[in-house]
Amino acid sequence: MSALAETSTSPSILPSAPPAPIVFTDSAADKVKQLVDEEGNPELKLRVFVQGGGCSGFQYGFTFDEIVNEDDTSMEKNGVTLLIDAMSLQYLAGAEIDYKDDLEGAQFVIKNPNATTTCGCGSSFSV
């Protein structure tokens, strides 16, 4: 006699990947790709950093860099790499880096949930 075993298949819940420390929008990645292509150096990466200054205490900075430091967090999107040093990541965790081209001009914009105060131009903040 063979017994038919009944099996229950419940959906398995796979652990999801941790959320990205920074949201790097398609618009920002596409603009970085365009700028890197114009420079003719595919090794360039966009470095985003926070430094003291500005009217609110801290300010954002952007630069191109070929070097990835040991403490950098890197993200890739649309063929470009975003770099953030460990100190800056503390202030930028959960932020969105976007590129806007509108009536106010064309610029990279950071929407930072950690900022308690931002200045009128948006380039300076406090926590």
Judge whether 1 lies within some domain: no
Judge whether 44 lies within some domain: yes
pLDDT at 116: 76
For the chain, the average pLDDT equals: 82
Q: Is the pLDDT of residue 17 over 50?
A: no
Residue 105 among known ligand-binding residues? no
Range of the domain at 61: 23-126
Judge whether 17 lies within some domain: no
Which residues, 6 or more positions from 104, have their beta carbon under 8 angstroms from its beta carbon? none
Judge whether 18 lies within some domain: no
| H-helix or E-strand spanning residue 47 | strand 45-52
pLDDT band at 76 (very low <50, low <70, confident <90, very high): very high
| H-helix or E-strand spanning residue 68 | none
pLDDT band at 10 (very low <50, low <70, confident <90, very high): very low
Judge whether 34 lies within some domain: yes
The alpha helices in the chain, defined as continuous H runs, are 26-39, 86-92
Residue 121 among known ligand-binding residues? yes
- pLDDT tens, position by position, 79-126: 999 999 999 999 899 999 999 998 888 999 899 888 776 666 555 555
Backbone angles phi and psi of 23, in degrees to 5? -95, 120
Judge whether 5 lies within some domain: no
Residue 119 among known ligand-binding residues? yes
56: domain CATH number is: 2.60.300.12
Q: How many folded domains does the chain comprise?
A: 1
